[in-house]
Structure 1
Amino acid sequence: MSDAEDRGPGGARPVLTVRDLSVQVATDAGAKTVLDGLSFDLIAGETLALAGESGSGKSMTALAIMGLLPKPMARVSGGTIRLGDTDLTALSERGYRQIRSARVAMIFQEPMTSLNPLMTVQRQLCEVLLEHRVCSRRQAPKRALRLLQDVRLTEPERRLSQYPHELSGGMRQRVMIAMALACDPEILIADEPTTALDVTVQAEILDLIRTLQAEHGTAVLMITHDMGVVAEMADRVVVLREGRQEEAAPVRDLFAAPKTDYARTLLAAVPRLGTAPDRPVHPEAQKIVEVDDLSVRFDIAGGLLNRTVARVHAVEGVSFHIRERETLALVGESGCGKSTIGKALLGLVPWDGSIRIGGVQTRGRSRAAMRPVLRDIQMVFQDPGASLDARMSVGEQVVEPMRVHGLASGSELGDRAEWLFRRVGLSPDMLSRYPHEFSGGQRQRVCIARALSLSPRVIIADESVSALDVSVQAQVLDLLQELQEQDGLSYLFISHDMAVIEQVADRVVVMRLGQVMEDGTRDAVLRDPQHPYTKRLLAAVPVPDPTRTRAPLPDTAGIEEASPIFPVGSAPARVELRQMSPGHRVAH
């Protein structure tokens, strides 16, 4: 390759050059190519995004660059990866150990699986520093503290002595970033670094990566399927599909005029705040779910006698209702009590207050008495892979609720299963397959079919599309709305994604620390927010438009730091909701 060819965009010499990279994995049917002829350059100080859906080869590219392909199952079958003048594909494992962290570092999607649960934060940071001889053993603790300060971690001195399970998701991700930057690498590979995080934490992490990049001049390879993150972070984009490069362009050019049908489809599927159409109003419809003064608390034991010393006030005095054909959205960050409310409606956690489903009070009812009530309310969970039994065919799992409730038997079960599969856009000949034979979107459709098997009146959708690619997410949301129109279903839609909420919700309840901060119609809450917390949630949503710069998050004034954990005998102060306009209430 000539010196001229070795230059990247704008004539700058790249720190990383990938040419015709191909990766193969071993399967029962023989070698399968999962990455085919990928080429790109990464320039010092820039952010290059690898974008595409699950299975497109994004993470496989990162693992190939880091020398972390699972051997002997996967191997680089062709092409070159050059870090400056070093050919990474020719390195031994010993050679790679000198490169990792020191010159190329990686932030993984799920920090809890990347951090050692048996080691304190300080010990893990010091291990990286000492392995690469960044400083002496005596200097390592001070250097570790400075790294935590650099990533803006609160109370860094205290965090050093903590274990990963004692930190929130956002804190763990900051520790991962600190470890990645410990050796001041030339390249930072961020593999879906914000997918598992709440929207406000995601915004903080993206701001942090951008700030650290500017301070250190680090090149960033951002791997994501979130086109909002691409628009916000990237200078250039490479769009991957099934292991092949579909399109490569500067980020503004891609969003303004995508050249391939796939890129156009990917961008069209991105939910955008402020673009959702009006939804039909059913003000006189019957109330299907009525919740009044709901509270859920969990005991924390401690001391020599293992007595209850504190309580988690997961839900505190929440009231709402859901009408026929209506979608009520519960919005908020992790730990605000959204999923706990869903579990309380199904009787999966102990609770206080009043819950009426179809006019029937569920408090104090036995399991047998609850069975007919539970036919009216079903749940679709976030992770379809975890909520399906890997040892049973999907057909068996779809008909199991009907067997339990004695609604059908014999050939009628098979006929009903085939009908349900057609309803959710799956072929009846798939009924004999097992969960691992389906894609993520198809598995979620199976879970929806199972939820529909009892002809419920209400479906609780608990983060049911957050784990899906954007185009699959759009398909599942369309399916849920189609079923609502055809069957008159009501939904309790639990999510932290404000753009998705706008697409599906009639009314919105914003929660924080187990209590309601704001509730009202979709337009009132999302387009005229009154509470500082709601404003902060909305301001954190990535905008899928590279010509617009997301404003800094609003100041946290009025959003005091707090915890839902209180000693026995104490409880949080109940917030009062003030009517701002008809049907729009705000905590004060």
Structure 2
Amino acid sequence: MTDPVLSVRDLSVQVATPAGAKTVLDGLSFDLMPGETLCLAGESGSGKSMTALAIMGLLPKPMCRIAGGSVRLGETELVGLSDAGYRQIRTARVAMIFQEPMTSLNPLMTVQQQLTETLLEHGVCSRAQAPGRALQLLRDVQLTEPERRLKQYPHELSGGMRQRVMIAIALACDPEVLIADEPTTALDVTVQAEILDLIRNLQRDHGTAVLLITHDMGVVAETADRVVILRHGQEVESAPVRDLFAAPQSAYAQELLAAVPRLGSAPARPEKPQGDTVLDVDELSVRFDVKGGLLNRVKARVHAVEDVSFSIRAGETLALVGESGCGKSTIGKALLGLVPWDGSVSVMGRQIRGLGPAGLKPVRRDIQMVFQDPGASLDARMTVGDQVAEPLLIHGIASGSELKDRAEHLFRRVGLSADMMTRYPHEFSGGQRQRINIARALSLSPKVIVADESVSALDVSVQAQVLDLLQELQDEDGLAFLFISHDMAVIEQVADRVMVMRLGQVVEEGPRDAVLRDPRHRYTRRLLSAVPVPDPTRIRPERIETESLGSPIWPVGQGPAKLALQEIAQGHRVAS
């Protein structure tokens, strides 16, 4: 019988708290065989990521420690291994893809420098060969314009692009074990499917074992061989993936699977009364200069968003869909004045074009944003309670005991307890950090919320709770949402209307059911064909391919041809 490549026995992890040591992982045991994919699933804070950090020797000291148990990588015992010993095996024998790419990449180093550093540290190739090997790794993870990406810094890439760089670094040394902590959270569905195919190909070619940590049960169904479900640091069920989905034994597993959104299962959205227009966007364009040459002149421009127009009424949710880098998040940032833009944007009837910081301040009471990366959008040096209360202080809405009461109320509204307010962001899981961001966005009672992948970091049960919360807020206050997401099943649950974007332009728009259940543009059909389905017995349909995506970069004075949208049904328009 084949020996396991990774064997975990009775692993326990404790965290220091003011009240004493708290056990966050209690007696976990499992074996990972060569070429196998084992999935750890469970709610946010259940101990999934803590297991990965314990295996990698990355538990934050002195706050966390392994209280007992054994972790063996082949013949090597990892518990108690020195830092020098871990440096030899990390990336070379066991590699990890982290959940939040922005906080995992060095902001001061280019992509090429970070890839080259990994290759040279482990002697994969010579210094002369490293640039070519780095370029090939970016091609392997389907990163667009890989030659240009090598010279860029992490902040110049979209969330999905950064995650692909992280995956390229993890795969650089062909490790025996790949620990993937939410590896596709930041990726759109088509790239997610390609990355999962890439991981499967790596397993097939090299016998790599994968420990997959995810809250996406569709990814679990399509990728995993076995599943271990955790709750409060303890195993509640372990089974082959088909057995788990067909007949979950524990009540918790049944609840978890019941909360999974399934594309095509959302009930019809009731007709809403037509509210007043709260956000009106006309011919919005965002372009970024590309400089180069001896005099650092503008050589080209990135046409990130090109002549996009839409409006949102009170109580309505407009969903923006498209692949990573299509301009979805850039539109959100433009509406908040975070990037330069051209066109016309009106919030609650106020034109914001040309307003400076002082003029934008009252506008931002009406429009708030929940960002994609929950770790990078919180200040590591402030308590989370202070960060949720800060907008109320800045706008002079509350102070003293009233400020504290309002902050506590916001924490409870997003499913967090008030005693968490004195903690810092690093003390929370990724899902908990995103709930803190949502609480902060709600603090000013805005009329419009731009939700940029606002639930992508949440496990399915918490995701369902947060979506219910957002729906409740919308029903009570007439809140309008611009909902940016790559999760088509979530979009089906929340959207009234859907806009599909490609290379900065809209290719299809219309009512939710018209776009998702009767897609007319080939690109929309491609997105829908790549959606993972939480059914391990289902054979994935052949992926619809489209012509090469192309590039949004054009020489100065040139630009893409403007797409004309033809109305094919009431409110349903498609690019010809």
- Structure 2-normalised TM-score? 0.85
1:16-61 Cα shifts (integer Å, max 9, x gaps):
3322122334455544433221111222322111222333232333
Match of 1:45 among 15, 32, 35: 35
Q: Is the 8 A contact 1:169 1:197 kept in 2?
A: no
Query: 1:58-73, aligned counterparts within 5 Å?
Result: 58-70=48-60, 73=63
Closer/same/farther in 2, CA of residues 150 and 515 from structure 1, 3 Å limit: closer
1:494 has 2:494 as partner: no
Q: Is the 8 A contact 2:188 2:324 kept in 1?
A: yes
Closer/same/farther in 2, CA of residues 473 and 138 from structure 1, 3 Å limit: closer
Query: 1:230-245, aligned counterparts within 5 Å?
Result: 230-245=220-235
Q: Which has the larger displacement, 264-273 or 206-215? A: 264-273
Match of 2:109 among 117, 131, 134: 117
Offset of residue 318 of structure 1: 0.5
1:338-364 Cα shifts (integer Å, max 9, x gaps):
222223333333322222333343334
Q: Which has the larger displacement, 103-112 or 290-299? A: 103-112
Residue segments in structure 1 that go unaligned for 5+ positions in a row:
1-10
Q: Is the 8 A contact 2:141 2:164 kept in 1?
A: no
CA distance in 2, matches of 1:495, 1:561: 19
Q: Is the 8 A contact 1:59 1:191 kept in 2?
A: yes
Q: Aligned residue for 2:305?
A: 315
Q: Aligned residue for 2:551?
A: 563
- Structure 1-normalised TM-score? 0.84
Query: 1:184-333, aligned counterparts within 5 Å?
Result: 185-282=175-272, 284-333=274-323
Offset of residue 262 of structure 1: 2.2
SS at match of 1:493: strand
Q: Which has the larger displacement, 140-149 or 327-336? A: 140-149
CA distance in 2, matches of 1:308, 1:336: 22
Q: Is the 8 A contact 2:434 2:457 kept in 1?
A: no
1:440-478 Cα shifts (integer Å, max 9, x gaps):
666555554554454433222222222222222211110
Q: Is the 8 A contact 1:145 1:160 kept in 2?
A: no
CA distance in 2, matches of 1:415, 1:294: 40
Match of 1:344 among 307, 331, 334: 334
Alignment RMSD: 3.7
Q: Is the 8 A contact 1:120 1:164 kept in 2?
A: no
Offset of residue 515 of structure 1: 0.8
Offset of residue 111 of structure 1: 5.8
CA distance in 1, matches of 2:428, 2:213: 24
CA distance in 2, matches of 1:198, 1:412: 41
CA distance in 2, matches of 1:574, 1:225: 39
Offset of residue 209 of structure 1: 1.0
CA distance in 2, matches of 1:141, 1:443: 37
CA distance in 2, matches of 1:252, 1:117: 43
Q: Aligned residue for 2:565?
A: 577
Q: Is the 8 A contact 2:565 2:573 kept in 1?
A: yes
Q: Aligned residue for 1:514?
A: 504
Match of 1:483 among 462, 473, 483: 473
Closer/same/farther in 2, CA of residues 208 and 369 from structure 1, 3 Å limit: closer
Offset of residue 518 of structure 1: 0.9
Q: Which amino acid aligns with 2:116?
A: R
1:178 has 2:177 as partner: no
Q: Is the 8 A contact 2:320 2:484 kept in 1?
A: yes
Q: Which amino acid aligns with 1:555?
A: E
Offset of residue 423 of structure 1: 5.5
Offset of residue 215 of structure 1: 2.2
CA distance in 1, matches of 2:85, 2:387: 49
CA distance in 1, matches of 2:20, 2:265: 47
1:17 has 2:7 as partner: yes
CA distance in 2, matches of 1:447, 1:495: 16
Offset of residue 296 of structure 1: 1.9
Q: Which amino acid aligns with 2:554?
A: F
CA distance in 1, matches of 2:553, 2:326: 12
Query: 1:160-179, aligned counterparts within 5 Å?
Result: 165=154, 168-169=161-162, 171-179=164-172
Q: Is the 8 A contact 1:190 1:221 kept in 2?
A: yes
Q: Aligned residue for 1:472?
A: 462
Q: Is the 8 A contact 1:111 1:176 kept in 2?
A: no
Q: Which amino acid aligns with 2:220?
A: V
Residue segments in structure 2 that go unaligned for 5+ positions in a row:
none
SS at match of 1:246: strand
Q: Is the 8 A contact 1:231 1:546 kept in 2?
A: yes
1:130-175 Cα shifts (integer Å, max 9, x gaps):
27xxx8x599669948974994657999589757758833652452
CA distance in 2, matches of 1:371, 1:214: 55
Q: Is the 8 A contact 2:288 2:303 kept in 1?
A: yes
Q: Which has the larger displacement, 210-219 or 233-242? A: 210-219
1:292-322 Cα shifts (integer Å, max 9, x gaps):
2111223334344444333222211101111
Closer/same/farther in 2, CA of residues 111 and 127 from structure 1, 3 Å limit: farther
CA distance in 1, matches of 2:30, 2:503: 45
Q: Which has the larger displacement, 447-456 or 518-527? A: 447-456
Q: Is the 8 A contact 1:239 1:263 kept in 2?
A: yes
SS at match of 1:14: coil
**What percent of counterpart residues are identical?**
68
Closer/same/farther in 2, CA of residues 148 and 467 from structure 1, 3 Å limit: closer
Closer/same/farther in 2, CA of residues 173 and 88 from structure 1, 3 Å limit: closer
1:170-204 Cα shifts (integer Å, max 9, x gaps):
652452253141xxx44333333222323222111
Q: Is the 8 A contact 1:331 1:510 kept in 2?
A: yes
Closer/same/farther in 2, CA of residues 13 and 305 from structure 1, 3 Å limit: closer
Q: Is the 8 A contact 1:22 1:33 kept in 2?
A: yes
Offset of residue 511 of structure 1: 1.1
Q: Aligned residue for 1:586?
A: 574
Query: 1:427-442, aligned counterparts within 5 Å?
Result: 433=422, 436=425
Closer/same/farther in 2, CA of residues 297 and 256 from structure 1, 3 Å limit: same
Q: Is the 8 A contact 2:71 2:79 kept in 1?
A: yes
CA distance in 2, matches of 1:296, 1:287: 23
Closer/same/farther in 2, CA of residues 281 and 44 from structure 1, 3 Å limit: same
Q: Is the 8 A contact 1:121 1:159 kept in 2?
A: no
Q: Is the 8 A contact 1:151 1:177 kept in 2?
A: no
Q: Which has the larger displacement, 466-475 or 477-486? A: 466-475
Closer/same/farther in 2, CA of residues 218 and 355 from structure 1, 3 Å limit: closer
CA distance in 2, matches of 1:399, 1:151: 44
CA distance in 2, matches of 1:385, 1:161: 24
Q: Is the 8 A contact 1:107 1:191 kept in 2?
A: yes
Q: Which amino acid aligns with 2:470?
A: L
Give the number of equivalent residue pairs.
568
Closer/same/farther in 2, CA of residues 147 and 354 from structure 1, 3 Å limit: closer
Closer/same/farther in 2, CA of residues 196 and 343 from structure 1, 3 Å limit: closer
Q: Is the 8 A contact 2:122 2:173 kept in 1?
A: no
Q: Is the 8 A contact 2:138 2:168 kept in 1?
A: no
Offset of residue 526 of structure 1: 1.1
Q: Which amino acid aligns with 2:290?
A: I
Q: Aligned residue for 2:372?
A: 382
Q: Aligned residue for 1:5?
A: none
Q: Is the 8 A contact 1:107 1:180 kept in 2?
A: no
Q: Which has the larger displacement, 302-311 or 571-580? A: 302-311
